[in-house]
Chain A
Amino acid sequence: MMTHARNAAVFNQDEARTGWHDASLWHVRSKRDAAAAEVPEWEYLREFASDIKDHTLSKLDVYLEAFEKAALANGAMVHWAADAAEHNELVLSILQRHGASRMVKSKSMLTEECQLNTFLEKHGVEVIDTDLGERIIQMLDEPPSHIVLPAIHLKKEEIGALFHRELRTEEGASDPTYLTEAARHHLRDKFHAAQVALTGVNFGVVETGEVVVCTNEGNADMGVHLKPVQIHCMGIEKLIPRRSDLAVFLRLLARSATGQPVTVFTSHHRQPKAGGEMHIILVDNGRSRQLGRPDFRSSLKCIRCGACMNTCPIYRRSGGHSYETTIPGPIGSILTPGVDLKRFGNLAFASTLCGSCTAVCPVKINIDDQLYRWRQMAGAAGLPEAGDRLWSGILGKGMASPTLFRYLGRLGRFLLRLLPGGGRNIPLTVWTRDRDLPAAPAESFRDWYARQPKANGE
Chain B
Amino acid sequence: MHIGLFVPCYMDQFYPQAAKATWMLLNRLGCRVTFPQGQTCCGQPLANAGNEEAARASYNHYIKTFEGFDFIVTPSGSCAYHVRHHYDLLDKTETVTAVREKTLDLSEFLLDVLKISELPARYPHRVGLHQSCHGLRGLHLGCPSESLQKTPSRLHLLLSMVEGLTLVDLQRRDECCGFGGTFAIKEPDISVRMGRDRIKDHLDAGAEVITSGDMSCLMHLEGLINRRGIPLRVMHIAEILNAGSP
Contacts and interface: CB of A to CB of B under 8 A. Distances in A.
A358 B52 contact: no
B183 A445 contact: no
B13 A409 contact: yes
Interface string B9-50: 101111111011001000100001111011111010011111
A380 B38 CA distance: 30
Contact of B34 (A2, A355, A392, A458): A458
B55 A37 contact: no
A375 B226 contact: no
A219 B192 CA distance: 42
Given A317-B194, A392-B46, A438-B219, A386 B51 contact: yes
Interface residues of A, number: 84
Interface stretch (B107-115, B120-128, B138-146, B156-164): B138-146
B153 interface: no
B180 interface: yes
A261 to B, nearest CB: 16
B84 interface: no
Contact of B51 (A350, A360, A392, A433): A392
B57 interface: yes
B189 interface: yes
Which DSSP category, helix, strand, loop or mixed, fits chain B's interface? helix
Interface stretch (B94-102, B171-179, B205-213): B171-179
A456 B176 contact: no
B184 to A, nearest CB: 7
Nearest to B175: A313
B153 to A, nearest CB: 14
A441 B183 contact: no
A112 interface: no
A441 B13 CA distance: 7
Contacts of A431: 184-185, 188, 223
Given A352-B133, A409-B12, A313 B194 contact: yes
A18 interface: yes
A435 B227 contact: yes
B187 interface: yes
Contacts, number: 227
A437 B48 contact: no
Contact of A402 (B32, B37, B51, B181): B37
A177 B245 CA distance: 63
Contact of B192 (A353, A435, A449): A435
B109 to A, nearest CB: 16
Contacts of B58: 396, 399-400
B131 to A, nearest CB: 10
B137 interface: yes
Given A402-B39, A448-B20, A412 B176 contact: no
Contacts of B16: 441, 443-445, 448
B49 A379 contact: yes
A436 B57 contact: no
By CB atoms of chain A within 10 A, which of B34, B181, B185, B186 has the most? B186
Contacts of B54: 389, 392-393, 395-396
Nearest to B33: A456
A2 B186 contact: yes
Interface residues of B, number: 77
A311 B60 CA distance: 36
A156 interface: no
B80 interface: no
A122 to B, nearest CB: 37
Nearest to B86: A372
B49 A387 contact: yes
Interface in A299-321: 311, 313-314, 317-318
B32 A457 contact: yes
Nearest to A390: B54
B174 to A, nearest CB: 8
Contacts of A358: 137
Interface in B46-91: 46-58, 60-61, 86
B197 interface: yes
Contacts of B179: 352
Interface string A403-440: 00100010011000000000011000111011111111
B7 interface: yes
Contacts of A274: none
A328 B174 CA distance: 23
A400 B57 contact: yes
A12 B190 contact: yes
Nearest to B143: A359
B137 A355 contact: yes
A43 interface: yes
B92 interface: no
Contact of B223 (A43, A351, A438): A438
A8 B50 contact: no
B146 A29 contact: yes
B154 interface: no
B192 A379 contact: no
Nearest to A434: B192
Nearest to A311: B146
Nearest to A438: B14
A354 B180 contact: yes
7 contacts: A12-B189, A313-B175, A349-B186, A352-B181, A352-B194, A434-B227, A456-B33
Given A5-B187, A389-B54, A441-B13, 17 more contacts: A5-B186, A11-B189, A22-B197, A351-B183, A356-B133, A375-B50, A376-B53, A379-B50, A386-B51, A399-B41, A405-B9, A405-B41, A431-B185, A434-B188, A440-B13, A448-B20, A456-B34
When A and B form their complex, which 8 residue pairs have the shortest distance between CB atoms, in order from nearest? Answer: A352-B180, A435-B223, A379-B50, A386-B50, A396-B54, A355-B137, A375-B50, A354-B133
